[in-house]
């Protein structure tokens, strides 16, 4: 049975989105595709050959199979930071390049791009920035690189943190800025939530937020990189299937048109995998600046246990001192739930 043009186009679009998805292994099972779409294996093979001929997909020989990917288009620009305006950079150099993307990914991209570029211009002390944008038929992405002081080093210095890596925790809380007169400290926080993959590389630290892993141990990932990167590189990717609008992102954390709620992954305290989460000093580091919020959700995903002192400092001492701030633990295992219950049962 021959495929109609409409049906063939639908299957082609589905295959392209599968190849472009973050979970794609690089290989297609033609027999499974044929069964899924109710067509013959030969029809799938012919369609893949057609897509390769149209340069909508690429295929490299890998053993007796093909490894598939999507062609990428890229643009790159270098700008001096002096007097640079992020909206003009986007409008003149990027907007037309991503115009074929669906509206929600395109709007989220524009928001994150202008926020991150503005940060680089006004905070990095770098004389120039390099801006890259890329697109496929499944996603759009950008990266912005400066050669300034480095975002983690700058935050650590401003807050007098003992370890530069602790700056990640402050970024993920939100509402921190080294220039409070001109900034609110919300740009990086909301940019990390507006897309599907958000990465900051500075010094020897690489930190990634993955929306596809939300609610799992892999939503937040950090690693060491060698040699260290001078300055900061921030990358952002959003897939065309992304449906959460900016308004919906803001409503999760700013339900009253004010940034009043933060969500903090407690796992970030275990970055070096040497010190378990047990001490009051770790709790105080986690709680730093919580007085700026009315609600804080502590996400224990990926954390197996906590110490009594850590739990007591948060769920008894802090709650007594700031009863107006709602502290909500989520994704707690049985050991963590038991410890929280134990300290909250103690005399207040």
How many CB atoms are located within 10 Å of the residue 49 CB? 12
Say what the pLDDT of residue 261 is: 85
Q: What is the CATH number of the domain that holds 323?
A: 3.40.50
Mean pLDDT of 69-78: 96
Say what the pLDDT of residue 171 is: 85
| Claim to verify: residue 20 and residue 81 sit in the same structural domain | no
Mean pLDDT of 107-112: 94
Share of residues in the chain with pLDDT > 70 (%) = 93
Q: To 10 degrees, what angle do helices 246-253 and 187-194 make?
A: 120
Range of the domain at 91: 73-251
92 vs 189 pLDDT, higher one: 92
Residue 227 to residue 229: CA distance in whole angstroms: 7
Q: What is the CATH number of the domain that holds 13?
A: 1.10.10.10
| Claim to verify: residue 41 and residue 81 sit in the same structural domain | no
The overall average pLDDT reported for the chain is: 89
CB 137 within 8 A of CB 128: no
Asked if the model's pLDDT at residue 273 lies above 60, the reply is no
Say what the pLDDT of residue 240 is: 92
Asked if the model's pLDDT at residue 272 lies above 60, the reply is no
Residue located via tokens 């507006």: 194
Please give the tally of structural domains in the chain. Answer: 3
Say what the pLDDT of residue 281 is: 85
Under the banding of pLDDT at 50, 70 and 90, the label for residue 183 is: low
Say what the pLDDT of residue 182 is: 60
Say what the pLDDT of residue 323 is: 92
How many CB atoms are located within 10 Å of the residue 102 CB? 14
Say what the pLDDT of residue 346 is: 66
Buried b (16+ CB within 10 A) or exposed e, 184-197: ebbbbbbbbbbbbb
Q: Which of 35-49, 158-172, 267-281 has the highest mean pLDDT?
A: 35-49
Mean pLDDT of 286-303: 90
Under the banding of pLDDT at 50, 70 and 90, the label for residue 271 is: low
- As a residue count, the chain comes to 348
Under the banding of pLDDT at 50, 70 and 90, the label for residue 283 is: very high
| Claim to verify: residue 94 and residue 195 sit in the same structural domain | yes
- The alpha carbons of the chain give a radius of gyration, in whole angstroms, of 23
| Claim to verify: residue 64 and residue 78 sit in the same structural domain | no
Helix, strand, coil percentages for the chain (3-state, nearest 5):
40, 25, 35
Asked if the model's pLDDT at residue 1 lies above 60, the reply is no
Say what the pLDDT of residue 181 is: 63
Q: Which of 73-82, 263-272, 293-302, 319-328 has the highest mean pLDDT?
A: 73-82
Q: Is residue 325 packed enough to be buried (19+ CB in 10 Å), middle (13-18) or exposed (0-12)?
A: middle
Under the banding of pLDDT at 50, 70 and 90, the label for residue 275 is: confident
CB 188 within 8 A of CB 116: yes
Asked if the model's pLDDT at residue 188 lies above 80, the reply is yes
Asked if the model's pLDDT at residue 145 lies above 80, the reply is yes
Mean pLDDT of 124-134: 96
pLDDT tens-digit series, residues 24-59: 889 999 999 999 999 999 999 999 999 999 999 999
| Claim to verify: residue 99 and residue 128 sit in the same structural domain | yes
CB 136 within 8 A of CB 70: yes
Of 43-57, 160-174, 268-282, the poorest mean pLDDT is in 268-282
| Claim to verify: residue 237 and residue 300 sit in the same structural domain | no
80 vs 180 pLDDT, higher one: 80
Asked if the model's pLDDT at residue 169 lies above 70, the reply is yes
| Claim to verify: residue 97 and residue 32 sit in the same structural domain | no
Mean pLDDT of 160-177: 83
Under the banding of pLDDT at 50, 70 and 90, the label for residue 191 is: very high
| Claim to verify: residue 130 and residue 201 sit in the same structural domain | yes
| Claim to verify: residue 55 and residue 187 sit in the same structural domain | no
| Claim to verify: residue 190 and residue 107 sit in the same structural domain | yes
Cross-strand bridge partners of residue 131: 77, 144
pLDDT tens-digit series, residues 224-253: 877 889 999 999 999 998 889 988 888 887
Listed residues 206, 222, 251: the one ending a domain: 251
Under the banding of pLDDT at 50, 70 and 90, the label for residue 194 is: very high
| Claim to verify: residue 242 and residue 267 sit in the same structural domain | no
Say what the pLDDT of residue 101 is: 95
Residue 195 to residue 172: CA distance in whole angstroms: 15
């Amino acid at each position: 049975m021959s495929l109609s043009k409409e049906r063939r186009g639908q299957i082609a679009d589905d295959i392209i989105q599968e190849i472009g998805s973050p979970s794609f292994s690089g290989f297609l099972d033609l027999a499974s595709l044929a069964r899924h779409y109710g067509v013959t294996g030969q029809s799938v093979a012919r369609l893949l050959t057609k897509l390769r001929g149209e340069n909508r997909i690429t295929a490299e020989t890998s053993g007796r199979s093909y490894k598939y990917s999507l062609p990428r288009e890229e643009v790159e620009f270098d700008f001096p930071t002096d007097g640079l305006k992020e909206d003009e950079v986007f409008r003149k150099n990027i907007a037309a390049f991503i115009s074929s993307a669906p509206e929600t990914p395109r709007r989220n991209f524009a928001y994150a791009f202008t926020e991150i570029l503005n940060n680089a211009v006004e905070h990095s002390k770098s004389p120039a920035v390099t801006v890259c944008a890329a697109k496929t038929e499944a996603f759009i992405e950008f990266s912005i690189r400066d050669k300034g002081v480095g975002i983690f080093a700058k935050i650590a210095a401003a807050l007098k943190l003992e370890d530069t890596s602790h700056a990640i925790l402050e970024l993920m809380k939100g509402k921190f800025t080294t220039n409070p007169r001109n900034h609110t400290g919300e740009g990086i926080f909301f940019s990390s939530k507006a897309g599907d993959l958000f990465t900051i590389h500075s010094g020897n630290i690489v930190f990634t937020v993955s929306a596809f892993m939300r609610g799992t141990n892999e939503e937040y990932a950090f690693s060491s990189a060698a040699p260290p990167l001078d300055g900061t590189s921030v990358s952002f990717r959003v897939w065309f299937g992304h449906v959460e609008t900016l308004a919906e992102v803001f409503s999760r954390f700013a339900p009253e048109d004010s940034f009043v709620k933060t969500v903090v992954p407690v796992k970030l305290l275990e970055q070096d995998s040497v010190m378990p989460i047990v001490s009051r000093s770790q709790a105080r580091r986690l709680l730093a600046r919580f007085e700026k919020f009315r609600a804080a959700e502590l996400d224990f995903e990926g954390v197996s246990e906590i110490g009594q002192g850590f739990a007591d400092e948060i769920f008894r001492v802090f709650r007594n001192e700031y009863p107006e701030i709602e502290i909500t633990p989520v994704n707690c295992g049985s050991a963590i739930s038991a410890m929280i219950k134990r300290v909250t049962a103690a005399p207040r």
